[in-house]
Structure 1
């Protein structure tokens, strides 16, 4: 862990390079206004081992293509993302993908060329703009902030799309506030994050709620998805999907763990047991009241192991006979084709649920509150009754809500439609704002 003194020294050096007291750059350079087909550079795709980190990318790309069809889009992957890239090349043939670091002398030539051609730079949905939430690694913070500094110096407008903000350990708030206040917009995927950055004194001209980019996802792999459903006798609208998030490390991890993948302490194991007892009770309730099947699906690669040993293997035999456990990880398009046929999706992580909503399927989100503000997005889009604290909500409350969805299914589907109509309105508003910046009409 970095000492406070070394942190302050590093921050001072960075601040000096920024010319902290200089006026903010113009929102739009004159070169942008003259271009009929502007170039948008999107940084995205944080991980190939988590379906949410895959799903952000096709979702935001679709939003951009739908609302700004004249724009050229360059997708920047700081590290190779072969799973995501396969998906993007199949579904977005016009998008150019560049790879490499933005780090001084080690900066990739194709990444630098992409920045030189960019008329706007977007940092996509996630929670990377935090310090002290996952760790105190100043280098990882600067890997996110440095591109913004370059944009500031070159007069390239930039923004953050569908982000969550949870922690700026002192004195990092000073630097984050200065750098991000220079953004053309900061769109937060939950209203609690908007409130947080405003309380900290961030001063970007637009700081509003806008849904996670994953809400724009519409990719499908019908061949694989339908084959999987058939092989496992999962009938359309007759199975419940269950998505876990356990207190377990990444597969093969030897580190001390972090917020999302903690070290295996007795306390964390007990917390998992308490949570999974509620999930197990929900599965049992579903099977015994509806007679239908359950699919335990992975949002993260590691749950293809832990979900089996910690949940599936513990089910009673009659329940297990009605439960399918997905043992292999999948790409977002196959998952979308399966989720679209589900009755309801229950999850402890949000992105499989977002994919379900995008296909019109009701959801229930029982999240660990400690995982951050992102869970509040479901309340923000009008679904508060489907949002739970997994550690506080009794098992009976989860079962009761699922029973209501089953009994009032047409009403539940209408609720999804209403929420997604609101999502679409917010997406359009964000793209209208970006369009104004690109056309210099604001």
Structure 2
């Protein structure tokens, strides 16, 4: 069988002879894929990356033992994984090469392939100039390189490498066996900045692979609220507001003290979203569910959006004030007519279920806002900062009036996703076979 060193040479990633012996213990005679994922339990998008990519690995690389690495405990995600992926092994803790007997380091030293799952952590100077986070993501890749363990990045967005960070990012990421960008703007950005890993291609966010459901909770919620399957619009917002107590730190996107500009954005975004909700209720007579993608919107969605709706509209609107995991959300979104949202991952979940979506993105949130354009849904993508509510209402009514056509459009977009998933997973499978 082809050796790991031979693979790295033919991939242009050869190096000095420093490899450690590979002695698998997770599953005898099985190649091991180590997946770093699960960034947050307070956002269903950050939860959703994990089951999505795990399902793809299970489907396309069934011969591998997948080890999921959580840098910090993620009890919500871990419960979801245990329920739906019983064969997946979990390791949790810090990356600490000086502690070779820790579960995390044992997993690294037994891995045939290391994958950093979908997100946007490979940036410097986009939202902050804090260096520890990107270094924490790059260091495990250098460790893999020193030990001839192929590594790759799956479904990433790349927004900014402020000088001189580009020198470090380029040096490390050029050693990757693959980089799949979840939007083509990120792909172009890497190419323009002379990033040349072994494989550099467009590959959708891992969350597109999600198929987990909690039907018991989802159906119970629909019954409790009176939402009728196929006859409600789900609305997902985001606001420039602080995390709730105990649920994260202040940051550019979650400011403890929003600037006047951010406060103005909040008013503009909620005014337009409120107009969409009002138009939907008055023209279709159907209901609306205001659903949270992140914990904090269980508070601000009520005070900034629901509370401002007209009195004749409110009785047709359900506001969800408790957070949920991705599987319950999937069971509810599966019964939605359409999902309108500012955040992309609830929309990804809906689209994976065949439900039409409208993404009212903000350009402030980075290149990931182009994800739906790049799978053929440009007509359903808007910049909420520059687009009027009337324009978005027109598109929503077109979806409603030509629903079979909209469902087919959603299906075709997911076929684009499926084709890229298959191609990317074939690369993963070849890597695993070559290095086992």
> For the superposition of Structure 1 and Structure 2, which TM-score range results when normalised by the shorter chain?
over 0.9
Question: Superposition pairs for residues 174-323 of structure 1, below 5 Å?
Answer: 174-252=167-245, 257-262=250-255, 263-323=257-317
- Please report how far the alpha carbon of residue 259 of structure 1 lies from its aligned counterpart in structure 2 after TM superposition: 2.9
Aligned equivalents of 1:255 and 1:187: distance in 2?
28
| Corresponding residue for residue 328 of structure 1 | 322
Return 418-427 or 214-223, whichever deviates more: 418-427
Match of 2:129 in 1: 136
1:25 aligns with: 14
Question: SS of the residue aligned with 1:321?
Answer: helix
Is the counterpart of residue 340 in structure 1 residue 340 in structure 2?
Answer: no
In 2, Cα distance between the equivalents of 1:224 and 1:142?
40
TM superposition score normalised by structure 1: 0.91
- Structure 2 CA distance, aligned partners of 1:111 and 1:40? 13
CA distance in 2: counterparts of 1:159 and 1:259, whole angstroms: 28
Aligned length: 419
Structure 2 residue matching 1:24: 3-state secondary structure: coil
Distance in 2 of aligned mates of 1:212 and 1:131: 20
Shift of 1:295: 0.2
Partner of 1:431: 425
Distance 2:188 2:246 in 1: 35
Root-mean-square deviation (Å): 2.2
Work out the CA distance in 1 between the residues paired with 2:420 and 2:248: 40
431-440 or 122-131, which deviates more = 431-440
State the distance in 2 between where 1:104 and 1:68 align: 28
Aligned pairs (5 A) from 1:292-441: 292-440=286-434
Structure 1 pair 431–194 and aligned structure 2 pair: CA distance change class (3 A): same
Distance in structure 2 (CA, Å) of the matches to 1:255 and 1:437? 37
Q: Tell me, yes or no, if the aligned pair for 2:333 and 2:350 is still in contact at 8 Å.
A: yes
Cα offsets for 1:88-136 (capped at 9, x unmatched): 0000000001000114546770000100110000000000111112222
Could you say if the C-alpha distance between residues 141 and 276 of structure 1 is closer, same or farther in structure 2, counting changes exceeding 3 Å?
Answer: same
Q: 29, 42, 59: which is aligned to 1:49?
A: 42
Tell me the secondary structure at the aligned position of residue 261 of structure 2: helix
Structure 1: give runs of 5+ residues left out of the alignment.
1-22
Match of 1:79 in 2: 72
Conserved 8 A contact 1:145-1:179? yes
Rounded to whole Å, the distance in 2 between the matches of 1:325 and 1:108 is 48
TM-score by length of 2: 0.92
CA distance in 1 between counterparts of 2:20 and 2:379 reads: 48
The 8 Å contact of residues 100 and 108 in structure 1, kept in 2 or not, is answered as no
Aligned equivalent of 1:90, options 80, 83, 103:
83
Structure 1 residue 438 displacement after superposition: 2.0
- What do the CA deviations read for 1:280-312 (whole angstroms, capped 9, x no partner)? 000000000000000000000000000000000
SS in 2 for 1:357: helix
- Note the alpha carbon deviations across 1:214-261, whole angstroms, 9 max, x for none: 000000000000000011110111000000010101113899943321
Alpha-carbon distance between aligned partners in 1 of 2:180 and 2:244, rounded to the nearest angstrom: 33
Flag as ranges the 4+ runs of structure 1 deviating above 4 A.
29-32, 253-256
Deviation at 1:271, TM superposition (A): 1.1
Which residue number in structure 1 is paired with residue 113 of structure 2? Answer: 120
Q: Does the 8 A contact of 1:163 with 1:188 survive in 2?
A: yes
Runs of 5+ consecutive residues of structure 2 not aligned to the other structure: 1-11
Give the equivalent residue in structure 1 for 2:33: 40
Work out the CA distance in 2 between the residues paired with 1:259 and 1:412: 35
Q: Distance in 2 between matches of 1:40 and 1:254?
A: 31
Q: Note if contact 2:20-2:109 (Cα within 8 Å) is conserved in structure 1.
A: no
Give the Cα separation in 2 of the matches to 1:255 and 1:331: 17
Indicate conservation of the 8 Å contact 1:103/1:143, yes or no. Answer: no
| C-alpha spacing 1:143/1:108, structure 2 compared with 1 (3 Å) | farther
Within the candidate set 112, 135, 145, 2:138 is matched to: 145
Alignment of 1:2-17 (within 5 A): none
